[in-house]
Amino acid sequence: MASRVEKVVGETLVLDCEVSRSNAEVTWKKNGEEVEDSRKVTILEDGVTRQLTIHSVTVEDAGQYVCDAKDDVMDFSVRVQDLPVRILGKTDAKTEKQFLVSDDIILVCELSNAKASVRWYKDGQLIDDSQRYCCEEQDVFRSLVVLNAGLEDSGEYSCYAGDDKMAFTITVREPPVQIIGNSGNPEHHVMVTGDDLILECEVSRPNADVEWTRNGEALQPSDRIRIDSYGVVRKFVLSGLQPSDSGEYVCEAIDDKLVTVVEVQDPPAKFLNKKGKNNMAAYENESATLCAVVSSDRANVRWLKDGQLLNKDNIHISSEGKTHKLTINPLQLSDSGEYVCDVSTDEMYFSLLVEEMKVKFVKRLEDVISLKGKTLTLQCEVNKPKGDVQWLKDGKEMTPSRRCTIRAQGRERSLTIQQLTDKDAGEYVCESTDDQTAATVSIETPRVVEFIAELRNITIREGEDAVFKCVVSPADTALVWRLNGKDVALNERAAVSCNGLCHMLCISSCLVSDSGRVTADAEGLESEAELTVQEQQALFTKKMAAVVAEEYSEATLEVEVSQEAAEVQWMRQGILIHPGAKYTLKHRGRSHSLTIHQVAAADRGAYSCETLHDRTQAQLAVEPRKISIKRGLTDIKTTERETASFEVELSHANVPGTWIRNGIQLKPTNHFRMSAKGEVHSLTISNLSVEDTGSFVFSVENLKTSARLVVKEPPVTIIRKLENQKVPDGSVISFDCELSRHNVDVKWMKDGVEVKPCKDVRIYAMGRKRFLQIMKCSAADSGLYACDAGDAATSCAVEVYERELLVLQGLEDLDIQEDQNAVFVCEISVEDVPGEWYKNGERIQPTSTVKIRQEGTKHFLLMCNVRSEDSGEIKFVARNAESVAYLEVEELPVNIVKPLQDTSALEKSRVVLDCTVSNPRCSIRWYKGSNVILPSERFEICSEGCYRKLIIQQVALEDEGTYSVQVGDYTCSAKLTVEAQSELMVRELSDVAVSAPDDACFECEVSAPAARAPAWSLNGEPLQPGPRVRLEKMGTVHRLTLRQTAADMSGLVEFTSGKARSQAQLRVTGNP
């Protein structure tokens, strides 16, 4: 069977075997091919030993090795593992980076192994090569390039290399937003009410958000407000301007803002329903309304009469929209005259004539039927207070007299006749000069009702009948019976009868609750009487008898009454007794009883039972009970973990007692369990311990009984003893023994001195076992160890011997280039022995680039990204063993690995020129032509590992030319071509037709802000700004306004800006 050998890259592989004779020849083979001696491979023969040594093994050295001795072979299976891949320089690298939209994101990691592969992730998702993502490899450098970055490229990017990881936090921001053509000064506009306000501007990028505000308050789309956004143009339209819309309008674009000051003025107000003369006529006390309609909702309207503002009580002024009204209610004769409605810029006149009103009846007379001898009043009402009237009866005028009174109060008119007679019946008329009202009066003789015999008071006993009688004239009088103010309900207990003038009410089997006032109502005339119902008496038919009871027992007192429904009250010394835990009250038929529970001496005395009409009384005597102890406590002796029980027997059951231990009253627990069954009381103590030893007392009233409990502890014995040990230094010494019980404290001794726990000494117990551990022992730990448990002890001898330390695999010289990793391995014969590394005699300390580790008997030194100054002597020391080797570092040559590439760009865009050098620490210089380029606001020079970049912001036409970079003696160059932006028409001019002298407005839009002022012409003649010509520019929007137009201005209007051109027709017509 082949021997398995595992090694790590860089270690030394030694394969050896032993032959039967010293002159035997062997052949070493790998995977069937013979292995020959070389600089890396050493084949050694020493007596009967045959050895194959491979220095600084690599992955390629893995395979099947055979030592062939012709008559016999020996196989070796060799496996070589790569050193773990690490990402270097993580602590010094800048992992949080920010980029602008459309920048290229370049992330670089440096590995410890040039052949290792990496995986790139974004926010946990694996990144594959695509048009935007590019993964590159250059020696030990691994880079990820994200082309034309967008906002969605922000996030966490991770580079995984084996078990190592490096994370970058990337933030992509939008470039600053600017408003094109913004001068920074506010624009002023004067508008008229009803016009539309249109504000427009152009921002620097299409996805820029803007906010429109008025006087600092944000504006949102509504019925009057429209906010549009298309491409880089932002537009705001406010329809139907009002004076309240005046203010400062701002287009806020994050990094820039455009301010426009707008003033809205009202047009002059005019009357729309104005006539030459508005004449009105009305009667007094009626109402009149004057109406005026103005052209503006916000006009300030005033109403005047004779040049004075109106403020009388009967004046009411109202307005709704453009309509204004003056209402006069009620009209007076003095309200006649001229009225004026004034709006400062116009007036409207009204003429009002108020005529005296006719006297009319607004409330007429009504027919009346009255009784003879009574007083009659006839009332009516006219429409004005001063109207004169005349009263007539049967066509004859009436005058005031002793029986007849005529009154006029305000608008009311009345006629009053006292002591009416049959002659007063007839038709009465009240008339004015313009109207009259009439009513018929009838006289009747009154009906006479009287009681001939009144009701009388009645007193009866409960259960008897009550009969009330009265005599009323006339016989047909309607009579109503009432009891305590309520009508008597006719039922089996109440009956009503009538015989001529005699009326009767009979109430059968009266109750006490029927007592009250009985009333007979004869058509309003009443007669009253009192009904008194007396309750029946409740008497005792069986009196209460005296009772003698023993203390803590029950006592029952009994009585019997004459009625089952009779209520009784139990009293003790004048205090009412209520049912509860102490007292139980029972009632069965005519029998009543009182039971007293747990009778005590305090309960003795006189008890009474009372009804409303009778009373009975008896004495309760209480005798004390006599308790004695029939069987007392007895002493108990036992051992730990047992159970002990004490019992006491009393003469009476249900007598509470108290258990006391060493003078302290006991309470029930899991340890002490108390119980009482009849006369027997018991105390049980479980799982006894020595602490339970003591005196126990049971106490009941004045009696006590006691006993003593003695608990002894069993002696400690050692079940398993310590054993002698012989161990090598650096190992762990473990002592353990087992006792007969667990609750025993022990002492660990060494050569008679107690051992205390510390960092390298552990002392602990598990159940009945006791343990002592000495970690990483040395020769000084040899001696005699003992475990002392008081009653018993056990001991053992320990011998610690020192192991011989040898260097099994020494250090080897190493020749490498800069930026490579140097690995030194030294293997010694003993594990867990610390070692130290030295360079040129100075001790090496671990850093971010120097790693020191130990795996069993192997010690490793890893020096990452070595430089030429790292050359020197490397030495490893462990105790008295050491190994030395020499490190030689060769400097890297400096050159350009990836040269510059020719680039074309659009004007005002962002340009990146980049190249890759062989050494990340080399310095370079950028040139444009023969001029050195230095960093500025537009030129940014970046260096990331081996990458070098020149970034030009807002590239201009003059930036075109040849750019070069110099690295040491190497130079490369590239040509930058800048293309100018072309200007196109986005919105053409539209034909305009106006009537002279109205303004004519033309507006168009181009694709980009013009570098030079555009040209406007009319019929081929250039137009210049002046009183009649206004030229405006708002970003990419251009506007021409022609004022005071005339018919001869009709023709062709042309706009020219660079290569962009647009034409439209202007047609001006004269006034009709």
How many other β-carbons are positioned within 10 Å of the β-carbon of residue 54? 22
- The Cα 1006–Cα 985 span in angstroms is 4
Residue 790 shares a structural domain with residue 815:
no
Positive or negative, the Cα torsion across 207, 208, 212, 216? positive
Residue 168, judged by CB atoms within 10 A of its CB (0-12, 13-18, 19+), counts as: buried
The residue length of the chain stands at 1072
Residue for token pair 């034409």: 1063
Q: Which of 355, 388, 411 is the last residue of a domain?
A: 355
pLDDT band, residue 352 (cuts 50/70/90): confident
Rounded to 10 degrees, what is the CA torsion of 326, 332, 335, 337? 120
Total number of domains in the chain: 11
| Residue of 101, 80, 87, 81 whose CA lies nearest to 177 | 101
Residue 523 shares a structural domain with residue 481:
yes
Residue 169 shares a structural domain with residue 199:
no
User: Contact 994/1045 with Cβ under 8 angstroms?
Assistant: yes
Return the pLDDT at 786: 94
What residues contact residue 417 under an 8 Å CB cut-off, 6+ apart? 375, 376, 377, 403, 404, 424
Residue 183 shares a structural domain with residue 261:
yes
Is the pLDDT at 603 greater than 60? The verdict is yes
Answer whether residue 925 is part of any domain. Answer: no
Residue for token pair 């009513």: 439
Is the pLDDT at 132 greater than 80? The verdict is no
Is the pLDDT at 102 greater than 80? The verdict is no
Return the pLDDT at 1011: 62
| Residue of 260, 262, 239, 242 whose CA lies nearest to 251 | 260
Q: For 104, which DSSP code?
A: P
Q: Which of 419, 444, 469 is the last residue of a domain?
A: 444
Answer whether residue 406 is part of any domain. Answer: yes
Answer whether residue 965 is part of any domain. Answer: no
Residue 458 shares a structural domain with residue 496:
yes
User: Contact 888/882 with Cβ under 8 angstroms?
Assistant: no
Q: For 21, which DSSP code?
A: S
Answer whether residue 922 is part of any domain. Answer: no
Residue 186 shares a structural domain with residue 226:
yes
- The Cα 85–Cα 158 span in angstroms is 15
pLDDT in tens, 385-426: 778 888 898 888 888 888 898 888 888 889 898 888 888 889
Answer whether residue 349 is part of any domain. Answer: yes
Is the pLDDT at 556 greater than 70? The verdict is yes
pLDDT band, residue 784 (cuts 50/70/90): very high
Q: What is the pLDDT of the chain when averaged over all its residues?
A: 85
Percentage of residues in the chain having pLDDT higher than 70: 99
The CA angle 143-149-153, to the nearest 5 degrees, is 85
pLDDT in tens, 488-512: 888 888 888 888 889 898 988 888 7
- The Cα 145–Cα 148 span in angstroms is 10
Mean pLDDT calculated for residue range 154-170: 87
Mean pLDDT calculated for residue range 950-958: 85
| Residue of 943, 768, 1017 whose CA lies nearest to 106 | 943
Is the pLDDT at 592 greater than 60? The verdict is yes
Residue 200 shares a structural domain with residue 227:
yes
Answer whether residue 511 is part of any domain. Answer: yes
Mean pLDDT calculated for residue range 780-792: 89
Residue 114 shares a structural domain with residue 156:
yes
Residue 602 shares a structural domain with residue 674:
no
Return the pLDDT at 943: 84
Q: Which of 508, 534, 560 is the last residue of a domain?
A: 534
Give the range among 48-62, 416-430, 969-983 with minimum mean pLDDT: 969-983
Positive or negative, the Cα torsion across 934, 936, 941, 942? positive
CATH number at residue 647: 2.60.40.10
pLDDT band, residue 1071 (cuts 50/70/90): low
Q: What is the CA radius of gyration of the chain?
A: 63
pLDDT in tens, 977-1006: 887 676 778 889 999 999 888 899 999 988
Q: What are phi and psi of 961, to 5 degrees?
A: 155, -165
Is the pLDDT at 285 greater than 80? The verdict is no
| Residue of 339, 351, 436 whose CA lies nearest to 392 | 436
Q: What are phi and psi of 959, to 5 degrees?
A: -80, -5
Question: The domain containing residue 40 runs over which residues?
Answer: 3-81
Return the pLDDT at 1052: 92
Answer whether residue 587 is part of any domain. Answer: yes
pLDDT in tens, 859-868: 998 888 888 8
User: Contact 148/135 with Cβ under 8 angstroms?
Assistant: no
| Residue of 561, 556, 611 whose CA lies nearest to 588 | 561
pLDDT band, residue 787 (cuts 50/70/90): very high
Mean pLDDT calculated for residue range 809-828: 88
Return the pLDDT at 1064: 93
pLDDT in tens, 833-887: 888 999 998 888 888 888 888 888 889 988 888 888 888 999 999 878 889 999 8
pLDDT in tens, 698-729: 998 888 899 998 888 777 888 888 999 988 88
Of 537 and 414, the structure prediction assigns the larger pLDDT to 414
Side chain identity at residue 950, one-letter code: L
Answer whether residue 926 is part of any domain. Answer: no
pTM for this one? Answer: 0.27
User: Contact 249/1034 with Cβ under 8 angstroms?
Assistant: no
Is the pLDDT at 525 greater than 80? The verdict is yes
Return the pLDDT at 277: 67
Residue 184 shares a structural domain with residue 113:
no
